[in-house]
Each structure stands twice: as C-alpha cells, then as structure tokens.
Homo-oligomer: A and B are copies of this chain.
Amino acid sequence: MTKGRRTFERQLPADRRHALIEATLVCLARQGHEGLSIRRISEEAGVSVGLINHHFPSKTALVAEAYRMLHERLAQTLVDAVKAAPAAATARQRLDHYINAFFAAPNLNPDILHIWVVFWSLSRHTREIRDVREATYAASLDLIEGLIGDALREAERDPAAAHLAAIGLTAMLDGLWLESCLNPSTFTPTEGIALANAWINAVLGG
C-alpha cells in the first residue's frame, strides 16, 4: 500500500529556499520570537530539520533573508501605490497615495508588524540582521525623501529640507505603525492618515 509512496519530493534550490523563507515568516507571525526555531520552521515547511542547514549556512542567514524578502514585498506595494497615481498627479498627490497605502493592508497588519519587532530586537546583536535593517531603512527613507523633495520644489520651497523632513515622517509612520500593531484600538487608520498629512502640510507650508 504505502510501498510506492515517495518519502519526499525534490525541489529546485531556489524554490525550496523560498518556501523555507515563507515558513519562517509564518512562524514568526504566529509565535514571535519563540517561533524562530529550526524545528518549528521545518515542520511548517513540511521538511526535515536537516534541510534548513543544507540550504542556508545558519539560522541567522535564513532570518536575514526573510527580513529582506518581507521588506521587499512591503516596499513594493508602497512603490506600486505611488506609481498608480495619474501621470498628471502632483508630488503632493503622490505623497497622498503613499500614505494611504501605508495605512492599508498588507502594510498595516499586526502580524507583519510583530515580525518586524522581532527583527528589530535581533538587529542589536547580530550583524547580519543589522545590515539588513540599515538597508531597508535607507531604501524607505530614499523613497520618502524623493517624494518630499519633489513636493517642496512644487511649493517653491527649499528642497534641502527634504532629508530631515523625511526622517520625521518616517519616524511618525514607524511610531504609528508600531502602536497600531501593539494596540489597534489606540487610533483608526483614518486618524493615522490625518496625522501623517498634518506633518506633511507643516513641512510644505511652514
């Protein structure tokens, strides 16, 4: 009966690696730091414990890859939202698209934010994770800084202020994201959007 059943199925390394990364994110979302175990991840992925170290040199490398991939996915939705603006849209309107996307799924999702917090907590003591964090922060800041810079030029104001203003907007968004994740009842997405817009208006108008 069970004689002919294959005991496992081969996959291309790239596919298997991707599946392991997905399983890592699932475990992180479900159990936080405690979900970050080789045995839990391999079970979630439906493979043996040994396979992870066949495809990744260490657990840390797997986590770093998961960090990179999650950031890429989220960042892409924000970039797409900005690109979805009409060709004739002003820079201010593109900023609106960015902020609206920020306070919507899949970005504003408690699961995702909880994964993120674990990454933050890891970034202190593991260089590999810290490097990923630096890169993701820089990428986010670059996008926002560009949008704010364009809007400043549009308002005929000095675009040199864009860098610090972008740090401020990033901080407010991160802070709102964090609080909304830890306790979604503190404020509504609408209120979050209003706060972010108030900051942008202050930057552009004052």
Contacts and interface: CB of A to CB of B under 8 A. Distances in A.
Interface of A: 31-34, 114, 117-118, 120-125, 130, 133-134, 137, 164, 167-168, 170-176, 178-179, 182-183, 186-187, 191, 194-195, 198-199, 201-203, 205-206
Nearest to A114: B124
A70 B34 CA distance: 24
A176 B33 CA distance: 24
Contacts of A195: 164, 167-168, 171
Given A172-B172, A195-B167, A121 B121 contact: yes
A187 B167 contact: yes
B175 A191 contact: no
A168 B124 contact: no
13 contacts: A117-B120, A117-B124, A118-B121, A164-B187, A167-B191, A168-B195, A171-B174, A171-B175, A171-B195, A174-B175, A175-B175, A198-B206, A201-B202
Contact of A182 (B32, B120, B187, B202): B120
A176 B173 CA distance: 10
Contact of A133 (B121, B171, B182, B201): B182
Contacts of A118: 121
Nearest to A179: B171
A168 B199 contact: yes
A55 to B, nearest CB: 24
Contact of A174 (B31, B123, B178): B178
A103 B164 CA distance: 16
Closest 10 CB pairs of A and B: A171-B175, A202-B202, A175-B175, A174-B175, A168-B195, A172-B172, A171-B176, A121-B121, A117-B121, A114-B124
